Structure 1
């Protein structure tokens, strides 16, 4: 049910990234590279966050990339904060702002 709702909210052109424990762990430099790609690509980015059991297989299949924030299971509210800070730090790096240090 949750997976179907997520997929229904996506457009076919959206770039989909699954936040998944088995995904790729990124440092700030790697995330800045992803962010730069996303900004030059022009497509909307959808970050999918599953429940405690993870994302539905259909959601994982739709994702272009999988990103692991941690091997731990994190609550949604904390995931939002960590992702927001990581994206801000990556954007700061891309803009040559000293915040990323």
Structure 2
């Protein structure tokens, strides 16, 4: 069975996000072993300087990179990444699984994104939208789309 890793900055605070993610994690368990690694997020202010934001990104980035193995296929979620439809995402996952040597690892940054080092380590950069989503909600959206992708890959019905 394939190993899928959610590598995320911060934890889910709201119970409704935790419950939604837990439901998709349970649904995904018939297709993959799911691991979730949460790294500590740094406190930041909306008025933080660019230098402080870079310091925060660097600290969070180091924590993320420590969790990534050399043979992981890393997909970084970034606004300026590649966009696709659900069927295209399923095709990508199917392709990645064919050549996978380690885990399929999806990385979600904190409130100010991902460090340049994490993005540089990524094998693929994925964007779900030009809009910004709370990272807690993004974890649920990503889990749902991975579940939908496995349903597509296996020619199983899923609501549209």
**TM over 0.5, yes or no?**
yes
Offset, 1:98: 1.5
- What residue is the counterpart of 1:18 in the other structure? 76
> Which residue of the partner structure matches residue 25 of structure 2?
none
Higher Cα Rg, which structure: 2
Q: Deviations over 1:8-44 (max 9, x none)?
A: 1111111011100000111011111111123222320
2:138 aligns to what?
79
Matched, 1:33 2:110: no
Structure 1 residue ranges without an equivalent (≥5): none
1: CA distance between counterparts of 2:116 and 2:136?
23
Paired position in structure 2 for 1:48: 107
**Which residue is equivalent to 1:9?**
67
Per-residue deviation, 1:68:
0.4
Would you say how many aligned residue pairs link Structure 1 and Structure 2?
A: 101
Does residue 1:99 correspond to 2:158, yes or no? yes
- Of 49, 63, 84, the match for 2:122: 63
TM-score scaled by structure 1?
0.92
Distance in 1 between residues matched to 2:149 and 2:68, nearest whole Å: 24
- What is the root-mean-square deviation in Å for CA atoms of aligned residues? 1.3
Supply the distance in 2 between the matched residues of 1:19 and 1:63 (Cα, whole angstroms).
9
Ranked by relative contact order (alpha carbons within 8 Å, sequence separation 6 or more), the top structure is 1
Distance in 1 between the 2:72 and 2:118 partners?
Answer: 13
Instruction: Provide TM-score, normalisation by structure 2.
Output: 0.60
The aligned residue for residue 24 of structure 2 is: none
1:92–1:100 Cα contact (<8 Å) kept: no
